[in-house]
Amino acid sequence: MVDVTSAPGSQPSPSSRPPFLAAERIKRAVSSLGWTFLSIALFAAIWELCWFFGISDPKLLPPPHVFLGSIPEQAQYFNTATRWAVGVAQSEAPSGLRSVGITIFATMTRVIVGLAIAFTLAVSLGVLIRYNKLFERLTMPTIMLLSAVSPIAWLPVAVFLLGIGNGPAIFMVVIALFFHMVIATVTNIDNVPKNFIHVARTMGASKRQVYGRVIIPAILPPMLMVLRLNLFGAWMVVLVAETTGVGYGLGQIIMLARNTFNPPLVFFTIFLIGSLGFLTDYALRQVQRRILYWLPEKGEGHAL
């Protein structure tokens, strides 16, 4: 029997790429960074111009220089929220900026842990569904049924089962992403070119080898794209969970800003959320590039 190997194993490692490709990659990274800053600066400039010409009310839509220029003041609200969450006196509470870091870390942990759990379980279950016909018939109808349920509907269930804290927030992220990721996994398996499977079987590969060395490597690129898309869904769900008091975090700060009618705090928190979402997506893209090193990077595979 001829051994069937996956495509990644037959490709050169990233370290074996010619030096000019590394230089080209650095050039593209610098260009991308420049366009990113230009895009953000343009958006901020339009916002500032609306404030300058009196088009927007600064009390309701404070411009960037207002909510970014009062970070120490806004950080005190993070201090209050953190103190309430951990139950310590004012004298024992962390400083404002440290409270911002604690709040960010709490929310990011819930997003990353929930996303990792959902992705691992969904891919495993999706592969098992296509691997075993009986298992597919027993589980797929239920998955399709539950995939239509809004994540918000699961919030009372999360509180009933797990109480208050990190558990319900992570559960909300997992339950919001899991069913759609299972369906995406099954769909991507169905889209694997049949020629790949036929060639593997012709070479004597068993069913397990076909899945382990052909199908799973073939669905890895689209599934990592699914992971990136669901990253933003994870951010939305965890903020909703935190807003309803499931756990302290950036969502709770948004609710605190609403209750105290503090637009600068709202937009400062939105700025933090957007920045964190951007950075986590960038980190995920770098991980994707490392894992899928055999695929041509953007700009490498075509002349234009």
Query: DSSP characters for 228-261?
Result: HHHHHHHHHHHHHHHHTTSS-SHHHHHHHHHHTT
Residue pair 169/242 in contact by the 8 Å Cβ criterion: yes
Containing domain of residue 206, as a range? 104-291
Tell me the residue type at 169.
A
Residue 141 lies in a domain: yes
Answer yes or no: is 26 within a domain: no
Residues 141, 145, 151, CA angle at the centre, nearest 5°?
140
Mean pLDDT computed over 279-289: 91
Residue 54, in any domain of the structure:
no
pLDDT of 297: 63
Q: How many CB atoms within 10 Å of residue 79? A: 20
Handedness of CA 52, 58, 62, 66 (dihedral sign): positive
* Contact predicate 238/103, CB 8 Å: no
**For 85-99, 169-183, 191-205, which range has the lowest pLDDT when averaged over its residues?**
85-99
The verdict on residue 18 lying in a domain is no
Please determine, for residue 301, whether its predicted confidence score (pLDDT) is greater than 60.
Answer: no
CATH number for 167 = 1.10.3720.10
Whole-angstrom distance, CA of residue 250 vs CA of residue 243: 8
The predicted pLDDT at position 283 comes to 92
CA 93 – CA 81 distance, rounded (Å): 10
pLDDT, tens only, 240-265 = 998 876 767 899 899 889 988 999 99
What residues contact residue 55 under an 8 Å CB cut-off, 6+ apart? 49
Minimum mean pLDDT among 22-26, 34-38, 213-217, 284-288: which range?
22-26
Q: Tell whether the model's pLDDT for residue 291 goes beyond 60.
A: yes
Residue 297 lies in a domain: no
Q: Which of 4-13, 15-24, 199-208 has the lowest mean pLDDT?
A: 4-13
Q: Could you give the percent of the chain with pLDDT greater than 70?
A: 84
Worst-scoring range by mean pLDDT, 9-18, 101-110, 269-278?
Answer: 9-18
Residue 72: inside a domain: no
The residue-averaged pLDDT of 155-169 equals: 89
> Residue 6 above 80 pLDDT?
no
Closest CA to 106 of 71, 89, 81: 81
Tell me whether residue 252 is in a domain. Answer: yes
Average pLDDT of the segment spanning 9-33: 67
Which residue, 172, 170, 168, 148, is CA-closest to 159? Answer: 168
User: Average per-residue pLDDT in the chain?
Assistant: 85
Structure tokens at 124: 């495993």
For residue 175, being part of any structural domain is answered with: yes
Q: What's the confidence (pLDDT) of residue 271?
A: 95
pTM of the predicted model, to two decimals? 0.82
Q: Count how many domains the chain has.
A: 1
Q: What is the pLDDT of residues 53-78, one digit of tens each?
A: 999 888 899 999 999 988 888 888 88
Q: Amino acid identity of 12?
A: P
